[in-house]
Amino acid sequence: GSTAQAATSRIAFKPLAAQTDFTIHVPEGYSWKPVAKWGQPLFSGVDDLDHATGGALETSDKVFGENTDGMEAFTVGNHQLIAVNHEYVNPKINLPNNEGGVPTSADDVRKLQNLQGVTVMEVAEGENGWDIVKDSPFTRRIHQNTPMKIAGPAAGHNLLKTDADPAGVEVLGTMNNCGAGKTPWGTYLTCEENFNGYFGSTDANLELPEDFGRYGIGHEGRYAYEKFDARFDLATTPNEPYRFGYIVEIDPANPDAMPVKRTALGRFKHENAACVLAPDGRVVVYLGDDERGEFLYKFVSDGVYTPGGDTSTLLDEGQLYAAKFNEDGNGEWVALTPEATGMSQPQICILTRVAASKVGATTMDRPEWVAVNPVAVEAYCALTNNKNRGLKTNAGGDETPVGGPNPREANKYGQIVRWFPAGDDHASDSFTWDLYVMAGNPTVGEGLYKGSENINAGNLFNSPDGMMFDSTGLLWIQTDGDDDNEGEFEGMGNNQMLAGDPVTGQIERFLTGPNGSEVTGLTWSADKRTMFVGIQHPSAPFPDGEGKLARSTVVAVKRDDNAIIG
């Protein structure tokens, strides 16, 4: 009964009803406040966002970037730092005076490039809550023209060479930084997802390599970069796309350290990078490839992590695996070796999707974030949705029959799969698995579309995406789905963040975002009394009110009694 359940529930808040308005809601006894909005100055002497122009080019690399996404908090001395991704841009909002937001000059392109990438910022809590510490020695904007090193097996490979970098070892910029990760040695991992969309060709008849199809790289760029920046024009710089789609390591404590692309972790549409140590000290990194019918991966380092030891090549030397889920609830990590794939080690790191197809990895319903439970040896992956499951296959991809952890044809709601590594060892090559939850709609859905038993009228959601465990082992689930609240999505309301108990399966709604936005990115202050939550791409003015531009924003959520919340 509900009384007994309430008495034993680990979920301490009063669950929120679904919402459909244009602001944030949190449960009774909690409150929220913006901390960092797109266009907010990171340095003194820089003005706050000019809502008439979307901000000047000159200051676009000195402000908090657009489309906040994955983030991680770091404590350096007594400084509270947050490293946070800026995934992409909303050109109609960022270039409000351009017809349709379409860039018409190299300056427009440069401004958009500056608004993406990563911010490292210091934050501090004062009488009026959390705020950015301007001019902190740690403040840093990494954008699409920031020099970075290429490391690992693919460094120096012919496919990575360009006229500007004939050695194939240094690249400008990181892009489409989606989810994130934190290494045991205190560095930030930022994950390059839909890099394909930044490239185009000024020659409409240019013949493209076959593997471009598998990665979705075509003649038409999403932001017209190719017209104004030759680096993004395939007709001029054909190898540039091979230099993106990686995990990038950034040291927030050392603002002068060059970011490093870790090619050993593969090239695909990286979602996040969930790190955990195996019992013997090897580093395990779980990695999702967010595309319909693509795969789930993990990397296991050859070396072991020892506190204070050399970590500079831990993510360069190791084995990449792709997941194979069997129908019987068992599964295996299949090593992507030259023997198994017929590809060279650098080729495996550059054309990772092709390698995983060769070993028969399981096609998934868009693997988004992986979260590793800190109090139990298990990991969870949000499979956000897959309208093509069982119906259609991506260009150059594998057939996607219904089955295993992807049990629904034309899967519109998504599910969360979890696995339990053999021997309680995340480095093990076998596991058992089950579905933690299948989102659905018990009122309007039929059969599997009703959702799993832990879905009820009070916690409806679709399209799980961001996921983080807190230090107590509660799973926080963020959504990026259909928020029309109609038909099959009736009763789900706006995108949201829920808390899930991994043991009982109980899931309750904690926060709702403004209509049109997605909730993505979550981290905690060092004292765990504040939760930082990202609100990406709100569609109406937020949070500044009527007549203002919509601003992607990181907000602080606290309990009114200042108790620990994670």
Residue 257 CB, shortest distance to ligand FEO, in Å, is 25
Does residue 518 belong to the site contacting ligand FEO (CB under 6 A)?
A: no
Q: How far is the CB of 290 from ligand FEO (least distance, A)?
A: 3
Residue with tokens 């991809």: 397
Query: Number of helices (H) and strands (E), helices first, in the chain?
Result: 8, 28
Cα separation, 493 vs 288, whole angstroms = 27
- Of the pair 535, 549, the CB lying nearest Ca ion is at 535
294 binds ligand FEO (CB under 6 A): no
471 to 19, 69, 192, 319, 438: CA distances (angstroms) = 28, 21, 26, 28, 24
**Of residues 91-130, those binding ligand FEO (CB under 6 A):** none
332 binds, among Ca ion, ligand FEO, none (CB under 5 to 8 A by kind): none
DSSP-derived pairing of the beta strands 296-304 and 282-289 = antiparallel
Q: How many residues of this chain interact with Ca ion, rule: CB under 5 A?
A: 3
Q: Do residues 495 and 514 touch, judged by C-beta distance below 8 A?
A: no
State the residue number with the nearest CB to Ca ion: 480
Place of tokens 């929120």: 16
240 binds, among Ca ion, ligand FEO, none (CB under 5 to 8 A by kind): none
For 306, other C-beta atoms within 10 Å of its C-beta total 11
* Beta-carbon count within 10 A of 52 CB: 9
Instruction: Report the residue number, 66 or 193, with the smaller CB distance to ligand FEO.
Output: 193
- Indicate the residue among 274 and 343 with the shorter CB distance to ligand FEO: 274
**Least distance from ligand FEO to the Cβ atom of residue 67, Å:** 9
Least Cβ distance, residue 285 to Ca ion (angstroms): 17
CB of 550 to Ca ion, least distance (A): 14
List the Cα angle 118/120/121 in 5-degree steps.
135
Q: Does 87 engage in binding with ligand FEO (CB under 6 A)?
A: yes
> Is residue 36 a contact partner of residue 556, using CB atoms and an 8 Å limit?
no
Report the distance separating Cα 12 and Cα 29, nearest Å.
11
Is 193 a residue that touches ligand FEO (CB under 6 A)? yes
- The least distance separating Ca ion from the CB of residue 257, rounded to whole angstroms, comes to 27
CA distances 520 to 290, 309, 326, Å, are 15, 33, 30
Which partner from the list Ca ion, ligand FEO, none does 72 bind, CB cut-off 5 to 8 Å by kind? none
* Residue 483 binding target from Ca ion, ligand FEO, none, CB below 5 to 8 Å by type: none
Give the residue with the Cβ less far from ligand FEO, 301 or 517: 517
Name which of 316 and 365 has its Cβ closer to ligand FEO: 365
What is the size of the binding site for ligand FEO (CB under 6 A)?
Answer: 6
Rank residues 201 and 520 by Cβ distance to ligand FEO and give the closer one.
520
Nearest distance in Å: CB 38, ligand FEO:
16
Interactions with Ca ion, residue window 458-517 (CB under 5 A): 465, 480
DSSP string, 412-452: -S-EEEEEEEGGG-TT-SEEEEEEEEE---TTT--GGGG--
Which residue carries 């990397």 as its tokens?
299
What DSSP line would sit under 193-233, residue for residue? Answer: --GGGG-B-SSTT----HHHHHTT--SS-SS-HHHH-GGGB
Contacts of 174 (CB under 8 A, 6+ apart): 117, 118, 142, 144, 146, 148, 190, 192, 244, 248, 259, 261
Of the two residues 35 and 175, which places its CB atom closer to ligand FEO in the complex? 175
Q: Is 251 near ligand FEO (CB under 6 A)?
A: no
290 binds ligand FEO (CB under 6 A): yes
Residue 265 contact, options Ca ion, ligand FEO, none, Cβ 5-8 Å cut-off depending on partner type: none
Residue 66 interacts with which of Ca ion, ligand FEO, none, CB < 5 to 8 Å by class: none
271 binds ligand FEO (CB under 6 A): yes
- Which positions from 330 through 369 interact with Ca ion, judged by CB under 5 A? 368
Query: Residue 517 is which amino acid?
Result: S
Region at 410 (left for phi over 0; alpha for psi -120 to 50; beta for the rest): left
Is residue 178 part of the contact set for ligand FEO (CB under 6 A)? yes
What's the CA gap between 532 and 82, in Å, rounded?
9
Cβ within 8 Å of residue 101, ≥6 positions away: 90, 91, 92, 93, 94, 95
CB of 85 to Ca ion, least distance (A): 10
Q: What is the largest CA-CA distance in the chain?
A: 69
Closest separation between CB of residue 381 and ligand FEO, Å?
A: 12
**Contact call for residues 477 and 500 (beta carbons, < 8 A):** yes
Q: How far apart are CA 146 and CA 140, in angstroms?
A: 11
- Residue 316 makes contact with ligand FEO by CB under 6 A: no
β-bridge partners, 126: 129
For residues 339 and 381, give the distance between their C-alpha atoms in angstroms, rounded to a whole number: 28
Nearest to 444 by CA among 381, 408, 491, 496: 491
Q: Which residue, 60 or 177, is less far from ligand FEO as judged by CB?
A: 177
Looking at the Cβ atoms of 316 and 465, the one nearer to Ca ion is 465
Residues 343-382, interacting with ligand FEO (CB under 6 A):
368
Q: Do residues 388 and 429 touch, judged by C-beta distance below 8 A?
A: no
CB nearer Ca ion, residue 157 or residue 551 = 551
Q: Which residue has the tokens 């402000």?
A: 63
Binding flag, residue 519, ligand FEO (CB under 6 A): no
Site string for Ca ion, 419-458 (x = CB under 5 A): ----------------------------------------
β-strands 415-421, 430-438: how paired? antiparallel
Using the rule CB under 6 A, is 233 a contact of ligand FEO?
no
- CB 292 to ligand FEO: min, Å: 11
Least Cβ distance, residue 385 to ligand FEO (angstroms): 11
Nearer to ligand FEO, 115 or 334 (CB): 115
Instruction: Closer to ligand FEO by CB, 537 or 558: give it.
Output: 537
Query: CB–CB of 477/519 below 8 Å?
Result: no
Residue 152 C-beta: closest distance to ligand FEO, Å:
23
> Which residues of the shown chain bind ligand FEO in the complex (CB under 6 A)?
87, 178, 193, 271, 290, 368
> Which residues of the shown chain bind Ca ion in the complex (CB under 5 A)?
368, 465, 480
